Structure 1
């Protein structure tokens, strides 16, 4: 009975109290009677509250003078799991993730709000509005987990891969044949999960959208981690997750893009003024269609200087682009 009393008071404080709205002893007593169908005396509740405020208790119950009666104490259970802003971050991340279906989004947000008291939960009622639609992907969560487990166990995997055509039909690449790869890491980039991997027997590293993968299966193959490969560094050099050759690149930008470049390459990026209104960025990056298209987003405010093959790719793409409007 003593354990039931203690657990009931803990649950009552966890559900109905907060730092902003603590509960008096009489309020606790009323709630326990109404919501838990348990009749406790003032002494029983007071004894449990004294224990919960002692150093012996693993729960941190605080008290202060009641706003209604300064002679009366009011109690609340300090939330040691999540602060309200932390829950808000998690809720917003779930809401914005396109690969989490609308139904699963609602279920996850409901569970997240259940990790705090009712008062704080109500403050989290206003959900993030996402500008892009959700997509439903069969076995997506299972695939992500399978990939993480394969990477941890150094297991090779195989899977089928495909894309939609203009008729909105999902067509498997290679006529449905399996890709066999060494999985190096899972990356979340611009609302999508990607697998960074090497195809079996090849050295080139390729990124695969996980929502386009199906039938993910472990193989008998085992791979040894490359101590010289830094996944975080590699991903930082990609542009829109396109694969390519790692090169030293140099790009001129108009000064008004300085914050964009610092956001992308970091405060320690090698940036040098070259005129009153232009600066030069020198960095290591993956030369690819992704880099070309990323540079084109800035129009004439960005100019590739080197390497020479990047400059040529830019010229060809600009010629092709301008030809659409002749």
Structure 2
């Protein structure tokens, strides 16, 4: 039979057909494969299909042939199983630091790793309703640049901004650039943070990656970042990545909060029994409004025992919030019935 100019692409086209159109639940028979090849103007005979399938198997593809009920050829094992792709799609879809447009792009690429039938299942995965997405489209590439800087031991320079009520960017330091020696990236409270040594303030600080603009990797080497800097310890003691006064804080907790304490501070912390119903734990923490809010959220189950300055910060915080609500007229409950 006459050979078309596409005939040399026969194996490649077969590979693509198997990848996109088959899986364990959707095999293709030899006649179906032959018709699919004809879409590329490629002629094939039944015997040649068997030879091609063997060549693809030797090459390393998990090409399988099922006989009996619902027979046909299909691609079995893939780089990612469907369950793994579902997890990745859920993570991308629910991630706040990835913009909606970039999320759609990434999910489309993940779908290409499965058959068209499996991709439909990925499209119906969990959607986090009204999940706030970052408005900074460049964050995806900013993270890549930061990884490059960390790997090459180079400082970075960037502008840092907040949003005003009009959702407009307002740059800090009147638009002057920040010069930072990066120590590592932290994933906290669904946001990426860069922890590093700020050259201006001469101390370790952290910055939200999605609030960076015009980031550049400089030719300057790192400074102020010790070789034994523990990025995990830094992240653990900064509640919600808020700044404040750091110190050893002792908490007195009810026994039913053991799980809460271990989840927050790790299983390495030492729990000291304090009577029959309580225990104490001493942790290193940055006492910020976020930390005090965490303590308050546990009600009378947790008490800050020391140091005095930390307990006093909690007292002042409570009094300040109480005064704010005391200014308002009490709301009468609605009449019964």
**TM-score interval (norm. to shorter):** 0.7 to 0.9
The residue number in structure 1 matching 2:16 is 11
The residue number in structure 2 matching 1:187 is 186
2:61 corresponds to 1:62? no
Q: In 2, distance between residues paired with 1:193 and 1:121?
A: 29
Q: CA RMSD in A?
A: 2.4
Q: Is the 8 A contact 1:32 1:38 kept in 2?
A: yes
Post-superposition offset of 1:146:
2.3
The residue number in structure 2 matching 1:22 is 27
The residue number in structure 1 matching 2:208 is 209
Q: In 1, distance between residues paired with 2:272 and 2:25?
A: 51
The residue number in structure 2 matching 1:104 is 102
Q: Is the 8 A contact 2:159 2:176 kept in 1?
A: yes
Post-superposition offset of 1:120:
1.3
2:233 corresponds to 1:233? yes
Q: In 2, distance between residues paired with 1:300 and 1:58?
A: 62
Deviations 1:197-252 (A, max 9, x none): 11116542111112222222334431265222121232122211123454322212
2:10 corresponds to 1:31? no
The residue number in structure 2 matching 1:42 is 46
> Quick one: structure 1 residues 291 and 6, their matched pair in 2 at CA, closer, same or farther if it must change by over 3 Å?
same
> Quick one: structure 1 residues 263 and 63, their matched pair in 2 at CA, closer, same or farther if it must change by over 3 Å?
farther
In the TM superposition, 1:73-222 aligns within 5 A as 74-130=72-128, 131-166=130-165, 168-200=167-199, 202-222=201-221
2:293 corresponds to 1:320? no
Q: Is the 8 A contact 2:186 2:193 kept in 1?
A: yes
Q: In 1, distance between residues paired with 2:84 and 2:197?
A: 36
What is the TM-score with the length of structure 1 in the denominator? 0.87
> Quick one: structure 1 residues 21 and 298, their matched pair in 2 at CA, closer, same or farther if it must change by over 3 Å?
same
Gaps of 5+ in 1: none
Q: In 2, distance between residues paired with 1:98 and 1:115?
A: 24
> Quick one: structure 1 residues 237 and 57, their matched pair in 2 at CA, closer, same or farther if it must change by over 3 Å?
same
> Quick one: structure 1 residues 9 and 252, their matched pair in 2 at CA, closer, same or farther if it must change by over 3 Å?
same
Instruction: Give the secondary structure class of the aligned counterpart of 1:221.
Output: strand
The residue number in structure 2 matching 1:251 is 251
**Count of equivalent residues:** 319
Q: Is the 8 A contact 1:160 1:178 kept in 2?
A: yes
> Quick one: structure 1 residues 228 and 107, their matched pair in 2 at CA, closer, same or farther if it must change by over 3 Å?
closer
Gaps of 5+ in 2: 1-5, 327-337
